[in-house]
Amino acid sequence: MIAISYRRQDSSPVAGRLYDRLQAEFGKGTVFMDFDSIPYGVDFREHIKTTLQRAKVVVAIIGPEWTGGRDTSNRRIDDPTDFVRLEIASALENGIPIIPVLINNTPMPEAKALPAELEGLAFRNGLALDTGIDFHHHADRLIAGIHRVVDPPTPPALPVTASAPPKAAAASKGKFPMVAALAALVMIAGIAAWYFSNRVPNKSVTRQETVEPARKVEPAAAPSIKAEPSANSQAAVSPTVAATPTATATASMAVAESDSAKKLTPSPPAVAPTPDARDSESSSNTVREHTFTGKIGKKEATFLLRFEPGGRVSGTYSQGGSTYRLEGRHPKGKLLLDEYTGERLTAHIEVALVESTDLIRWEGTMRNTPPDNRVFPIFFERSSLSAPTPAVAATPTDPSGSFGDYAYSGRVGPYEATFQLKFEPSGRVSGTYSLATNKNLVLRLEGRNPKGRLFLDEYTRDKLTARIELSLIDSTSDIKWEGTMYNTPPDNRVFPVSFSRPRK
């Protein structure tokens, strides 16, 4: 059994997603996560211990609120009856492997910041899990790690070595065996003397040999020789000179030739099966774009998806005048997509390929994120005969007409800021920015640049602290980007952002 330990107010949504992924991989009934669903009247401490004793591995989900409060004087983890504390302490006490899963760059708790019975957790090797576009990739890494714990490779059996036979016990060298041997010799000598002195000589007996009469040898019959027909007579009987082999001989020859062929003719090399190009939208080594039509629930929608050779998928879908961004990946026969409204993750989509002779159709489910939590059926399809839209190389939406580094000045909320951004041909954007109020603090930016848009993630050191969505405002004199910054939890503040540079 795989046990998931988490704190509800810290990581309940991602725990539910991870529970679904693990159950799909390892089977229903193999994953347990509701330790706090304890029957009435039961000692919850013993209930947790008993449940964990059946676990082969514990997945400890650690988010920014895992300790149950930022105030060190009033943290839930310091309460000896805290469920999360009991779960981790019981796993450590029983030697059950623990895999810490660190949500959205949450740092591993330090040993000195934990209760004494939990200090061992700080030395477990953890795994980062992003709840955004990389969720499925990181979940795959976690699944591989769990497999190594619950399904370790079986070591080869060692050959059994026969043990050497024990050495025979040394013969006894006591005096008694020697005396017994001498007495036996004396007795044998006495019996022999008595026998020869009283022996009566035998009468001579003449043995008459019986001679058998000689057998009459019959001469061996000469083998009958069947006269072969002469050449003339053979020619008269059949125009064929060479004798035709009988059916039995023919069969024997055929078998012999077959066996010979088996020995002399090398078997042809195994040919790898040719993959069906339609099994994967991204089977080509080039980027392809396809347009699909379908429905989400009862509402019609149009999807534009871009399939990249590495299995990455990006695009948009439009419904009722609104457009939503999609990011995900494309394992064989499936599509796993995340829906973003602005930069906010609003739904998870999982669809499977349903193929026919004339259609390529994807069917599955959309699950809205909390607090919405609604679930909709979803499908979209296209003709299997339609040619893909040729993917155009990424064009810098910065209208300078070239890729490279650009310096911008602008504002984040009420604060002045300077930005340094690098636009790459692949559409990737990276850079930094700093506020005028604290120029020593340089914040890192990573993102992408679809046409007319900028999607950036802000990192304070290595921690994701904000997401930024911008649109291009083009003019004859300036190149300007405007949009919104959404701080990550627990901050959750929202700021307007804008920056510009003169057109060259």
The 10 Å Cβ neighbour count of residue 326 is 21
Q: What mean pLDDT is predicted for residues 298-313? A: 87
Strand partners, 240: none
Tell me the pLDDT band of 209, cut-offs 50, 70 and 90. very low
Q: How confident is the model at residue 206 (pLDDT cuts 50, 70, 90)?
A: very low
Residue 330's pLDDT is 86
CA distance 451 to 481: 13
Backbone angles phi, psi at 52, to 5 degrees: -70, -25
Q: Which residue has the higher pLDDT, 28 or 356?
A: 28
Q: Are 289 and 97 in contact (CB under 8 A)?
A: no
* 356-411 pLDDT per residue, tens: 777 889 999 999 888 788 899 999 999 877 655 444 444 444 444 457 889 999 99
Out of 1.10.10.60, 2.40.160.90, 3.30.420.40, 3.40.50.1110, the CATH code matching 404-502 is 2.40.160.90
pLDDT > 80? residue 83: yes
pLDDT of 197 strictly over 90: no
CATH 3.40.50.10140 spans which residues of the chain?
2-150
Q: Can you tell me the distance from the alpha carbon of 459 to that of 445, in angstroms, rounded to the nearest whole number?
A: 6
pLDDT given for residue 271 in this prediction:
39
Q: Indicate the burial class of 412 (C-beta count within 10 angstroms; 0-12, 13-18, 19 or more).
A: buried
CA atoms within 13 A on the CB side of 181: 6
Rounded CA-CA distance 18/102 in Å is: 13
Give pLDDT, residue 99: 95
- Six-digit token pair at 237? 């009987």
- Does pLDDT of 180 surpass 70? no
Q: Which of 472, 478, 473 is nearest to 453 (CA)?
A: 472
Residue 84 tokens read as 């999360």
**pLDDT score for 498:** 94
Check pLDDT > 90 for residue 293. yes
Give the pLDDT score at 11: 86
Contact 113, 107 (CB under 8 A): no
What's the mean pLDDT in 10-39? 82
- Burial pattern 463-484, b for ≥16 Cβ within 10 A else e, equals ebbbbbbbebeeeeeebbbebb
Pairing of the two strands 312-319 and 57-62: unpaired
Rg for the chain, CA atoms, rounded: 44
Length reported for the chain: 504
What residues does CATH 2.40.160.90 cover in the chain?
A: 280-390, 404-502
Instruction: Specify the CATH architecture of the domain 2-150.
Output: 3-Layer(aba) Sandwich (3.40)
Q: What's the rounded mean pLDDT across residues 245-251?
A: 40
Q: How far apart are CA 358 and CA 356, in angstroms?
A: 6
- List beta partners, residue 458: 445, 466
Mean pLDDT of the chain: 75
Strand ranges, E, within 37-97? 57-62
Candidate CATH numbers 3.30.230.10, 3.40.50.2300, 3.40.640.10, 2.40.160.90; the one for domain 280-390: 2.40.160.90
Q: Which amino acid is present at 147?
A: H
> And the tokens for 150?
């619950």
- One-letter amino acid of 271: V
Q: How would you write 372-397 as a 3-class SS string?
A: CCCEEEEEEEEECCCCCEECCCCCCC
Of 48, 37, 53, 2, nearest to 23 by C-alpha is 2
Using an 8 Å Cβ cutoff, are 111 and 92 in contact?
Answer: no
Question: Residues of the chain with pLDDT > 90: what percent?
Answer: 22
For residue 186, the model assigns a pLDDT of 66
Residue 117: the pLDDT is: 92
Q: Report DSSP state, residue 72.
A: T
Claim: this prediction has a pTM higher than 0.75 = no
Average confidence (pLDDT) over 455-479 = 85
The DSSP symbol for 6 reads -
